[in-house]
Amino acid sequence: MTDWFAEQLLQWYDQHGRKDLPWHRDPSAYRIWVSEIMLQQTQVTTVIPYFERFMERFPTVEALAAASTDEVMGYWSGLGYYARARNLHKAAITVVEEHGGAFPASKDLIQALPGIGRSTAAAIVAQAHGQRAAILDGNAKRVLARYHAVEGWPGRTAVANELWEHAEAHTPDERIQAYTQAIMDLGAMVCTRRRPGCAACPVREGCLAYGRNNPEAYPGSKPKKEKPEKSVWMLVIEDGEGRILLEQRPPSGIWGGLMSFPEADPALQPEELPEHCETALGLETSEPETQEPFRHTFSHYHLWIRPVRLTAISTRALQDDRSRSWLHRESALEAGLPAPIRRLLG
């Protein structure tokens, strides 16, 4: 069954929808999967170059499963939300070991893989296999919240449930790939967060928010909270051969498992930093050269990054520690690095 809403979206999609995105070319389950993970909370224009590089290096799920996590992280470096890459790699190994390399075709099996939730699983089976499944990404949430004038912030379970019901009800039995792309394209191209292009909208006749003349009021916005300010010394330590000291961060928390500069307590005075290097890193260093701090904003707090340059005089007591390594700039840039650290490396 195809209701009026879906019919209108499909007709609009045929004329205006996006059909030439990189993952539309050979839309295998593997390629759709990788694209959907990259696109979580990330805009299309940001994803495209990452997707192309990733697919060139890991063209199949077997290639991805066979790679090291470190190399996968290197290809993800700069995209953010690094748990996505870890889960992607873990899931690839599961697909190879438990499903014989064939990406599972059932939505439930797909959703059981790490990093794949209800909406992503639906997007994969709909786009790769043409199975009827409702998605509810940020675009669909905005379109449906406006069309049905659903009040409240979609982060609340009751609001999300209501949107899911609308999503299920509108999803047609036929042309699932087109409809899935259509509702996302409408949200991204017409039913935008600000200044929506209602004049070009194929469903404005039925849209309750349009009828109320306040589409921008939907969906309800997230309750705002104060972001705390944190601060840290970032120790940029270079030895006599132009190598930089990097260490692996703890597996959980911000930039979990990525390589980064050693950090020091911001309560320390700059002149105390060489002693800190001696005790914490077993390093004899020259005088510290502090650089201009800059503020890096995360989802939940601001971090003042205070870079300090030091030159290592001796590099003893480091060979045994697998979590720390001296790397030249070029090889460091191939590792999985957080964006600001990559920037500091220059």
Partner DNA sequence: TAGCCGTGGGA
Partner DNA sequence: TTCCCAAGGCT
Binding site for DNA (CB under 7 A): 18, 21, 23, 35-36, 39-46, 78-83, 87, 114-121, 123, 137-139, 142, 156-158, 181, 184-185, 187-188, 193-195, 221-222, 224-225, 227, 252-256, 295-300, 338-340
Give whichever of 195 and 316 is closer to DNA, judged by the CB atom: 195
CB of 181 to DNA, least distance (A): 7
Yes or no: say if 260 and 246 are a contact pair by the CB < 8 Å rule: yes
Give whichever of 8 and 35 is closer to DNA, judged by the CB atom: 35
Contacts of 336 (CB under 8 A, 6+ apart): 70, 72, 73, 74, 76, 77, 82, 85, 257, 258, 259
- Judge whether 174 counts as a catalytic residue: no
Give whichever of 226 and 320 is closer to DNA, judged by the CB atom: 226
Q: What's CA 60's distance to the chain center, in Å?
A: 21
Contacts of 153 (CB under 8 A, 6+ apart): 159, 219, 220, 221, 222, 223
Yes or no: say if 237 and 244 are a contact pair by the CB < 8 Å rule: yes
CB of 42 to DNA, least distance (A): 4
Give whichever of 41 and 314 is closer to DNA, judged by the CB atom: 41
- Within a 10 A sphere around the Cβ of 100, how many other Cβ atoms? 7
User: Which residue among 36, 97, 98, 272 is the active-site one?
Assistant: 36
Give the integer Cα–Cα distance in Å for 33 and 223. Answer: 31
CB of 81 to DNA, least distance (A): 5
Give the integer Cα–Cα distance in Å for 305 and 220. Answer: 34
Give whichever of 44 and 208 is closer to DNA, judged by the CB atom: 44
Give the integer Cα–Cα distance in Å for 258 and 78. Answer: 11
CB of 138 to DNA, least distance (A): 3
Q: Among all residues, which ones are annotated catalytic?
A: 36
